[in-house]
């Protein structure tokens, strides 16, 4: 199988992972080039939004061209700026995780999903936390890291009882966990 065919399969798998982990009502589709909130405060400076959007577009292009190291540097620079501004870097962290998943760096991808889960907890986003922990658990399971899977599941169970998770999403994840 050619490298290009292999990458297309991995991209399809990553897209499937992102879609499978979402419901239409609760989450936007995995962004290819989505707007990202970047600056804290009463009103974001338009030039910063434009600049960071351009960085993300460049990172997306590099990632699509399999220039992972360069794309990662750009993505992480945006995450750093968002964190400095006390903004929630969920979209960019998800892009990073999916990029690493696509290029067979599942351990790094799982770790980034764990970082996204932590960030979601800090910003009170229980649904993203649940999805990120579940995605990380799937990757750790594939890697044979039962200890990390157990840690993810330990954190997932209380979320499945949380009133902040819509009942349809809770039911969906409960069914998936039982099937595993």
pLDDT in tens, 163-176: 999 999 988 988 88
Closest CA to 137 of 162, 172, 111, 161: 111
Q: Report the pLDDT averaged over residues 105-119.
A: 98
Q: What angle do CA 26, 166, 148 make, to 5 degrees?
A: 85
- Amino acid 46: pLDDT: 72
pLDDT in tens, 118-155: 999 999 999 999 999 999 999 999 999 999 999 999 99
Distance, in Å, from the CA atom of 40 to the CA atom of 160, rounded to the nearest integer, reads 31
This prediction's pTM: 0.75
HSE, side-chain direction, 13 A CA sphere, residue 91? 20
Q: Which tokens go with 19?
A: 């879609």
Domain count, the chain: 1
pLDDT in tens, 14-67: 444 444 333 333 343 443 444 555 444 434 577 788 899 999 999 999 999 999
Q: Report the pLDDT averaged over residues 101-109.
A: 96
Q: Are 169 and 130 in contact (CB under 8 A)?
A: yes
Domain ranges, residue 168: 3-179
pLDDT surpassing 80 at residue 3: no
Of 38-42, 92-96, 110-114, the one with minimum mean pLDDT is 38-42
Closest CA to 93 of 114, 70, 121: 114
For residue 20, the domain's CATH number is: 1.25.40
């Amino acid at each position: 199988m050619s490298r290009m065919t292999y990458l297309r399969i991995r991209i399809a798998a990553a897209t499937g992972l992102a879609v499978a982990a979402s419901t239409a009502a609760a989450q936007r589709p995995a962004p290819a080039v989505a707007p990202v909130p970047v600056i804290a405060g009463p009103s974001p400076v338009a030039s910063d939004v434009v600049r960071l959007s351009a960085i993300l577009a460049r990172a997306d292009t590099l990632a699509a061209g399999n220039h992972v190291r360069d794309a990662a540097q750009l993505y992480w620079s945006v995450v750093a700026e968002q964190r400095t501004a006390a903004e929630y870097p969920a979209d960019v962290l998800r892009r990073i995780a999916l990029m690493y998943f696509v290029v067979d760096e599942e351990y790094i991808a799982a770790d980034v999903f764990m970082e996204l889960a932590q960030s979601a907890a800090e910003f009170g986003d229980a649904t993203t936390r649940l999805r990120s922990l579940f995605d990380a658990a799937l990757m750790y399971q594939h890697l044979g890291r039962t200890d990390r899977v157990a840690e993810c599941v330990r954190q997932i169970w209380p979320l499945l009882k949380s009133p902040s998770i819509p009942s349809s999403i809770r039911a969906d994840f409960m069914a998936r966990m039982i099937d595993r």
